[in-house]
Structure 1
Amino acid sequence: MTPPGSALLVAGVVVLLLLGWVAFTLTRLRRLEGRVDRAWDVLDTALARRADLAAAAARERPAVLGEERARALASAVAQARRPPGGDREAAENALGRQLRDLAHPGDEVDDAAWRVGLARRFYNDAVRDTRALRRRPAVRLLRLRRRRPLPRFFDIDDGMDAVVGTGPPSTR
């Protein structure tokens, strides 16, 4: 083979390898974005379930909770369902603080709070992985998926940050 022919062959192989990498990376980005979407749906459902259970506790047990605490809990639930100013994280934090202040909100509420923490972790892990891939120099240089906004982390104080490798809280 002549030198120009071998250079053309090498260039063709490099272009094919680059196209294969781009296809692989685009597929991975789409899968990660799908993972973020699914994790958000699970987190949103867990947050709604926790709010529903907290509202039921405030409505059905005001004598046990105390009238003032039941009103504060109901107010926090209302703000979590329709966050003022659109700041859902702050509203969910307020609801979480109200629930933690209760002596024993009930096993279902504890379970729902635990599920919120796990769902938040899965969601934030998916966001982290997506952002890490999108920050790679080659991905930024080729502007892959640049029209899609970067997903945002959902950071609330659910008491799960210090928990590593343990099960749900005991009901003893």
Structure 2
Amino acid sequence: MLLALAVLVVLLLAWAAFTLTRLRRLAGRVDRAWVTLEGTLARRAELADAVAREHADELGPLRADALRSAAAAARRPSGGDREVAENALGRLVRELPEPLRAPELDDAGWRVGLARRFYNDAVRDTRALRRRPGPRTLRLHARRPMPRFFDIDDGLDAVVGTGPAGRG
């Protein structure tokens, strides 16, 4: 009886160690995906600002100022609501006339969609593991905040369907 109890304790400890290692790896994956997503968002904001500066005459003063303001707000969102600022910038970028939209800006938009998808996949996997009964009961990773999804309207359906190569 004592041997069976010892084997059960060893198995429980092995499972807990395996699960904790998995949670740490998922946390690292979320962190790396967030850094990548932030980089792509910053790149898109820089390119949008450059288009607003270089084509201010063709865009008109109102549209150029709106694009510059949206790019600045996306870099430093007020109130911490980054998703709202990124949605505003994305909407303005998509409304740019085709001849004024730089190919790099379109590419940055595709990259934002892909980076967001990778980040949200990592968040989904982490949340799913942390919500299982075992990790919840043993409070594995309980001190780390639960990661949040990053939801913006970036045309992700188009990214999944065709990708940059399918644009023609």
TM-score computed with the length of structure 1 as normaliser: 0.92
Which residue of structure 2 aligns with residue 114 of structure 1? 110
8 Å contact kept, 1:89–1:154: yes
Distance (whole Å) between structure 2 residues aligned to residue 170 and residue 110 of structure 1: 13
Counterpart AA for 1:134: R
8 A contact 1:89–1:155 mirrored in 2: yes
Structure 1 gap ranges (5+):
1-6
Candidates 56, 64, 67, aligned match of 1:62: 56
1:9-48 CA distance string (max 9 Å, x none): 1111111110100000000000000000000000000000
Give the structure with higher Rg (CA).
Answer: 1
Range moving further from structure 2, 114-123 or 155-164: 155-164
Match for 1:136: what amino acid? Answer: R
Say if 2:113 and 2:159, in contact at 8 Å, map to a contact too: no
Quote the offset at 1:120 in angstroms: 0.2
Aligned CA-pair RMSD? 1.3
Whether contact under 8 Å (1:32, 1:130) holds in the other structure is yes
Measure the CA separation in 2 of the matches of 1:66 and 1:100: 16
TM-score by length of 2: 0.94
**Take 1:59 and 1:78, find their aligned partners in 2: how far apart are those partners?**
13
Residue 151 of structure 1 aligns with an amino acid whose one-letter code is P
Aligned position for 2:125: 129
Contact 1:113/1:158 (<8 A) preserved: yes
1:1-172 alignment runs, 5 A limit? 7-104=1-98, 105-161=101-157, 163-168=159-164, 172=168
Q: Which runs of 5+ in 2 are unaligned?
A: none
- Return structure 1 stretches of 4+ with deviation > 3 angstroms: 169-172
Cα shift readout 1:42-63 (whole Å, capped 9, x = no counterpart): 0000000000000000001112
More deviation in 161-170 or 15-24? 161-170
| Percentage of identical aligned residues | 70
How many equivalent residue pairs? 166
